[in-house]
Amino acid sequence: MMSPEDRVMLRRAVARMRSRIVAVSCAVISGSALMIATILHIARERAPSTLDIALLANYLPGYSVSWLGALLGLFYGALLGGVFGGVFAWFYNRLAMRDPAS
């Protein structure tokens, strides 16, 4: 059984994630990745590839493999990445800060 002092020290030692920073970081990375993938797909002039990102139009309204689609991909990627990053950080913090005795 841990003493109350040990619990306090453990809680101080566990690194907490800052939800907003994680959300913004994930938003920038995922938005940029989807935009760059779309631009590279345009630049390849639809050469046969194993990655057909045009199928994302089934899930992202208005998205297409075009320059406008690249901008929409930036928006959708940032939105989804930010939401998932924030939820992940919140969930991690909940697990990290729970009482280890329970």
Assess if residue 5 is contained within a domain. Answer: no
Long-range contacts of 75-79 (CB under 8 A, 24+ apart): 75/31, 76/31, 76/34, 77/27, 77/30, 77/31, 77/32, 77/33, 77/34, 77/35, 78/27, 78/28, 78/30, 78/31, 79/27, 79/31
Assess if residue 8 is contained within a domain. Answer: no
Could you list the residue range(s) of the whole structural domain that residue 30 is in? 19-96
pLDDT, tens digit, 9 for 90 and up, residues 35-92: 999 998 888 776 566 568 889 999 999 999 899 999 999 999 999 999 999 999 999 8
Question: Which pTM was predicted?
Answer: 0.78
Domain count, the chain: 1
- For residue 79, CA distances in Å to 3, 6, 24 come to 43, 40, 10
Assess if residue 1 is contained within a domain. Answer: no
Residue 23: partners with Cβ closer than 8 Å, 6 or more residues away: 82, 83, 85, 86, 89
